[in-house]
Structure 1
Amino acid sequence: MHTRRKREISVLFRLRYDQKNDTCLRPLKIRLTINGETASDYCSGIYIRPTQWDQKAQKVKGSGPLVTQANEKLAEVAAQHYEILRRLKERNHKGQGKRPTAQLVKQEFLRPGTTSPRLHQWFKTYLDYLDTLDGTEDGRSEKTVHRLYKAWEYVKQFDPSSSFLTDLTTGWGKRFHAWLQTHPDTGKRRMQKDSANKYLSHVRDAINHAIDEGYLTSNVLDKFRPKRGKNKEVYFMEANHIANLMKLSSDDPQFSAVLWWTRLMCFTGLDYVDAIRYARQPELYEYHTPYGVKIIINRTKPPRNLCEIPKLYQVNDLLAQHPTGPVDPNLADMNRHLKVIQPIIGFIGKTQDGRDWKLTTKILRKTAGPIFLRLGYSKDAVSKFLGHSSVRTTEEHYVKITSSFIDVEMERVARQQWLGNVPLRPIPVGNPYLSTPSL
């Protein structure tokens, strides 16, 4: 006895029950069934007179060019469904898409490309998803989101027709990476290699989101991991700059407030917004240990890493002046005043590409790393102080060996040779890390 094999796909056309006797043109609905699963009825895009429709034969009755055209259209729509199912099965077999269902075939018929989105369309879907995370622990910083939107714009410029997610290759990633660095028309340098790496990583993140949603099972761009460019030069305030900073004073209340916040950031490594949080209610973030007080605070900047910072005596002096901090200027005013402070303290120099140094709140945070290192704390400890996700960040972006650093090390080693294991004592030699300058 032979059992009848169930059909993989069934495409049936039907009219609404209350339209069967109408003489006006009415839309034919599609009832799609795939492997026993039936999708809700949807429009086929074909209009007929119900009195001419043969439901059992699945065709329009009669003769004439209009009838022939309608029946040909019916066969074409059915063939479209068969082809969509074939493509979805092929992609699923390659690990590049979801298992075909009646709902997916219906979706692809009504909105072509949605079951295998084009890259720029999916990138926007990914950005919309990130927008829903704004304000949560998983949210991205404003700067990162801005760069993601910029990456989306670059993708649209590089690939105007926009490739399907399933058609992306490693070669596409290499061409995009090269395009980011050099303008194809002018041959001029568009950006450095490390910047191109970041934009490529954002595209990789968007594709990973497609994997999370089941559209793909692997990321072809994972096979292309370009090497990093030359390490970016990172600059920060040296001991002499901070010594000069500590001597500054002003009768202008706002300028005095800027000096206060500048010093707090230098000696804590806190971002400006986190420095304000701490100063307003220091008792909420201070913990007493047998060896002194430490500041424990989560960074506002995602991923909101925890900072555990030894409270230096300079911070005590600052809070003695303003127990809850002075007025806090907005970030633009802070950086505007820092431009005035920069030449006064002698913070002058040029980057590797010839640009002048700029004293900003970000530089103040970076300055804390060398301060703690010169005081004898290890790189691992300083990484924890600053809330870095990895010690590698501390080593590559916040620490560089300078002549003043070497001078401090020579002094430390020389004194240990003379004094044996006697702990180092503060020496008033103008070094703000070892002496106690007045504010």
Structure 2
Amino acid sequence: MKSTLSILYFIRKYQVKKNGFASIMIRITIGGEKVQFYSRIEIEPLKWDQKAQKVMGRSAEAKEVNNNLDKIRMQLYTAYSRLLGNDDYVQPSKIRDIFLSNEEGSTLRYQFKRHNKHYEMLAPNTITHATYTRYELTLKRLIEFMEHQYRISDIQLHKITPEFIDLFFSFLQEKYKCSHNTATKFIQRFRTIVSYATDTGIIKTNPFNLYHISFEKTTRVYLNQQEINAIWNKKFATRRLDQVRDIFVFSCYTGVSYIDLCSLTRSNIELGFDNRLWIKINRHKTHQSAHIPLLKIPLQIIKKYERQYNDEAIFPINSNQKMNEYLKEIANICGISKKISFHVARHSFSTTVTLGNGISIETISKMLGHSNMKTTQIYAKVTDLKISQEMEKLLDKDFK
């Protein structure tokens, strides 16, 4: 006896992921027998119309998701018709298995591109564009590795082994001279794709369960007060170095990261409750608020650029790559042997400017816009000067 196929899309509103998205589930019913599984599509729960079984609105994201749902429905009906031609009764689990074992959908390249396309739609509202580009670069490196190692440009997800992962790690270190930690970040992004495929039933076993990922401890570079002063007081012959110096020193005294400086505008400078000017932003990386009182030097820098630029943006910002190139030049001119990148300014703010002057780790964490205190503890190092100041209290103490 033939039974009718019923397909239902729904989301589990109370199973929202950390990114604020929920998976769209598929429930297939035939003759009272049901099976449900992941569609491999995620959305924000508030955008879902359960009655219509689709995403509300006419945005590009809504059209993309709804078109994909229509395609999935057609795939399921096609599988049902094919199975029905061989038997009077079709089990829902067989339709599910055909859908999940789709050859194209179970390859690394397909899943990576699908993930990256989803991230591209989210940027810059939910994730940063930099995060999207890092995933794009990871896919590019994986394709290069597969072509080099196996003479292929794609692989079935179930064929990925711990050996494949380890060889990719070695490839990154040998060809691109990646440090251990940089190569590990590539592996982490690779793992995200494979773990998602495991969670949604595309593959049964995650090869990363047998592969250990670890970061090496590194010494974070920061400038001491003498080095910050040397850069700030130096007279540069070119305008480009003068601008980069100003923006770098501004970050040394505010802790504002490069990506947040790029979008820093005059509207982010507000008069606080204490009648002083503050920077008030939401960080791109963590989406946490960061409120930083402006000290004398950053105020001087802001006023300098108010006179030069009649624009909402506070600073003329070069690319991060250019900034780092110019900072190396500045370090050489100032006689600083440390390897300086723009992020060193943020380290210097947390270590020299704040912690070295007695600011609590809790206050530093709030100003840096960290979502976790452990992150701040990585940045903030106890300097020799701080040790000397603290131990001075004991110099005249008579221990008895």
Bucket of the pairwise TM-score, normalised by the shorter protein? 0.5 to 0.7
Q: Is the 8 A contact 1:127 1:149 kept in 2?
A: no
Matched, 1:315 2:298: yes
Q: 1:391 to 1:255 in 2, by over 3 A?
A: same
- Indicate the residue corresponding to 1:363 in structure 2: 344
- How many Å separate the matches in 2 of 1:79 and 1:287? 71
- Indicate the residue corresponding to 2:135 in structure 1: 145
User: Which of 360, 385, 397 is equivalent to 1:407?
Assistant: 385
Q: Is the 8 A contact 1:264 1:275 kept in 2?
A: no
**Structure 1 unaligned runs (5+)?**
1-5, 11-33, 45-76, 90-97, 350-356, 419-439
- Indicate the residue corresponding to 1:375 in structure 2: 357
Q: 1:391 to 1:196 in 2, by over 3 A?
A: same
Q: CA deviation at 1:303?
A: 4.0
User: Which of 240, 264, 276 is equivalent to 2:226?
Assistant: 240
- Indicate the residue corresponding to 1:330 in structure 2: 318
- How many Å separate the matches in 2 of 1:118 and 1:81? 28
**Structure 2 unaligned runs (5+)?**
6-28, 33-73, 310-314
Residue deviations 1:99-157, cap 9 Å, x none? 4338x74x69xx9514x612332222222222222332145525423443235426744
- How many Å separate the matches in 2 of 1:368 and 1:228? 28
Matched, 1:299 2:283: yes
- How many Å separate the matches in 2 of 1:416 and 1:323? 48
Q: 1:415 to 1:135 in 2, by over 3 A?
A: same
- How many Å separate the matches in 2 of 1:251 and 1:99? 73
Q: 1:288 to 1:138 in 2, by over 3 A?
A: same
State the one-letter code of the partner of 2:227.
H
Please tell me whether Structure 1 or Structure 2 has the larger radius of gyration of its CA atoms.
1
Q: CA deviation at 1:314?
A: 2.1
- Indicate the residue corresponding to 2:167 in structure 1: 179
- How many Å separate the matches in 2 of 1:319 and 1:308? 17
User: Which of 301, 320, 329 is equivalent to 1:340?
Assistant: 329
- Indicate the residue corresponding to 1:123 in structure 2: 112
- How many Å separate the matches in 1 of 2:308 and 2:346? 18
Q: CA deviation at 1:342?
A: 0.7
Q: Is the 8 A contact 2:230 2:334 kept in 1?
A: yes
Matched, 1:385 2:367: yes
Q: 1:258 to 1:194 in 2, by over 3 A?
A: closer
- Indicate the residue corresponding to 1:100 in structure 2: 94
- How many Å separate the matches in 2 of 1:325 and 1:394? 35
Q: CA deviation at 1:249?
A: 2.5
- How many Å separate the matches in 2 of 1:220 and 1:324? 58
- Indicate the residue corresponding to 1:203 in structure 2: 190
Matches within 5 A, 1:347-358: 347-349=336-338, 357=339
Aligned length: 320
- What is the Cα-based RMSD across aligned positions, in Å? 4.4
Q: 1:189 to 1:316 in 2, by over 3 A?
A: closer
Residue deviations 1:203-222, cap 9 Å, x none? 2211344367x444876246
Q: 1:189 to 1:317 in 2, by over 3 A?
A: closer
- How many Å separate the matches in 1 of 2:326 and 2:292? 27
Matched, 1:289 2:273: yes
The two structures have a TM-score, normalised by structure 2, of 0.63
State the one-letter code of the partner of 1:296.
K
- Indicate the residue corresponding to 1:71 in structure 2: none
Q: CA deviation at 1:348?
A: 0.1
Partner of 1:233: helix, strand, or coil?
coil
- How many Å separate the matches in 1 of 2:250 and 2:308? 10
Partner of 1:230: helix, strand, or coil?
coil
Partner of 1:346: helix, strand, or coil?
coil
- How many Å separate the matches in 2 of 1:41 and 1:177? 36
Partner of 2:272: helix, strand, or coil?
strand
Seq. identity, %: 17
Residue deviations 1:302-361, cap 9 Å, x none? 344332223223223333434477662523554443233112322204xxxxxxx2x332
Q: Is the 8 A contact 2:262 2:317 kept in 1?
A: no
State the one-letter code of the partner of 1:119.
L
State the one-letter code of the partner of 1:203.
F
- How many Å separate the matches in 1 of 2:86 and 2:238? 76
Matches within 5 A, 1:128-277: 128-138=117-127, 140-141=129-130, 142-150=132-140, 152-153=142-143, 156-157=146-147, 160=152, 164-165=156-157, 167=158, 172=161, 174-182=162-170, 191-210=178-197, 214-216=200-202, 220-221=206-207, 223-224=209-210, 226-250=212-236, 252-275=238-261, 277=263
